[in-house]
Amino acid sequence: MVAQTKFIILGNSETAESFADGFISAGNLCVGAVSLRTELLPANSRGLEVWASRKSIDYFEIADANSIEFTKIVESSSAELLLVQWPKIISEKTIELFSQGAFGTHPTCLPWGRGRHPLHWQIAMGYSKICLCVFRLTSEIDSGPIILKYQIKIEKDESILTLIKKINLSTFQCGLELSKMLRGSSSFLESQKGKISGSLWRKRTPEDIEIDCRMSCDSISRLVRSIIPPYLGAKLITEFGSLTVTEALFCQFENWEFNQIGAVLAVRDTSLVMRADDGPIELFIHGDMDPRLGNCKFLRPPRYYKSQLIDGR
């Protein structure tokens, strides 16, 4: 009988649960589930409390994975390995607490796309597929030796929500396959570190989710799908304030090409049609629309409206 590996899952999401579920299904024992305290959770994240309760696993909340608090949890549980889905850097000292090391996943073809908001960026930038990597943790961001890779297709109409569901399914397989590799029934991939420099992606800012009338229809559609609610939603800035766009659809509109970029072609109950760079696009708005939009003839780039507020013109 193969000995169980005692492990802790450190995370705040369904993806973390899927990673742990895969590892458990391979015969390993989860001796602790650890999440950030509620007030510290990133937007649209959740702790592992419900999942841990359902599986009768000890649950803890912490402020810092590099704290004495977490060290005590590890020591009391006799954990040998750490699975990670964590938004902050974990120190080498913390990693060394685990005799079998620490492992995480990242949904880009590492070392490309290390860093923040990888799924949002890849949808917005028009990638047709992503690579879910399992890697051994080091104290550098997403930079450890790569253990295995899974290819995941991004469909033409893919949203952040549908892509996360695919990621969760693949992350379960990652946990299952990682256990086999650690037991020697499969070989590790060679580390990519040092072969190519890769890239480090920055955190998205409010400006990164603003719709600009000069964008193409496809760019607008991808931007909207990359951050649909319950995420913040793409923002359409107007003279009457900021509107949250939940869907952007290509549409037909007679004689659109004779209108300037940014022209408002139609205002409907829950949407407006705008002339983008290369055609008309219908933007569906979350919540009530300001009735004054019915008299709006065109939209300018977001910077124009912001300068109005700053300069008072």
Averages of pLDDT over each 10 residues, the chain, 313 residues? 86 96 97 96 89 98 96 97 94 96 94 92 95 92 89 95 96 95 68 60 93 98 96 94 96 95 96 97 94 92 81 47
Domains in the chain: how many in total? 2
Q: Are residues 100 and 231 in the same domain?
A: no
The residue out of 201, 235, 256 marking a domain boundary is 201
Distances (CA, A) of 27 to 4, 22, 23, 99: 6, 9, 7, 18
Q: Are residues 127 and 16 in the same domain?
A: yes
Q: Are residues 93 and 131 in the same domain?
A: yes
Helix (H, G, I), strand (E, B) or coil at 61: strand
| Full strand arrangement of the beta sheet holding 29-36 | 59-62, 29-36, 6-11, 81-85, 102-106, 129-136, 146-153
Beta-strand pair 81-85/102-106: parallel
Q: Are residues 143 and 15 in the same domain?
A: yes
Q: Are residues 76 and 179 in the same domain?
A: yes
Question: Does 18 map to a domain?
Answer: yes
91: how many CB neighbours lie within 10 A of its CB?
Answer: 12
Q: Each residue of 71-84: b (16+ CB within 10 Å) or e?
A: eebbeebebbbbbb
Give me 223's structure tokens. Answer: 């931007």
Beta-strand pair 271-275/241-250: unpaired
Helix (H, G, I), strand (E, B) or coil at 179: helix
Q: Are residues 35 and 131 in the same domain?
A: yes
The pLDDT value recorded for residue 184 is 81
Q: Are residues 219 and 304 in the same domain?
A: yes
Domain with 217, as residue range(s), is 206-311
Q: Are residues 187 and 210 in the same domain?
A: no
Tokens 């949407």 locate to 271
The CATH number of the domain where 224 resides is what? 3.10.25.10
Is pTM, for the whole model, over 0.85?
yes
The pLDDT value recorded for residue 195 is 47
Q: Are residues 191 and 219 in the same domain?
A: no
The residue out of 185, 201, 217 marking a domain boundary is 201
Give me 197's structure tokens. Answer: 């420099």
Q: Are residues 165 and 92 in the same domain?
A: yes
**CB within 8 Å of 157: residues ≥ 6 apart:** 225
Question: Does 1 map to a domain?
Answer: no
Q: Are residues 21 and 166 in the same domain?
A: yes
The residue out of 172, 201, 230 marking a domain boundary is 201
The pLDDT value recorded for residue 308 is 73
Q: Are residues 143 and 244 in the same domain?
A: no
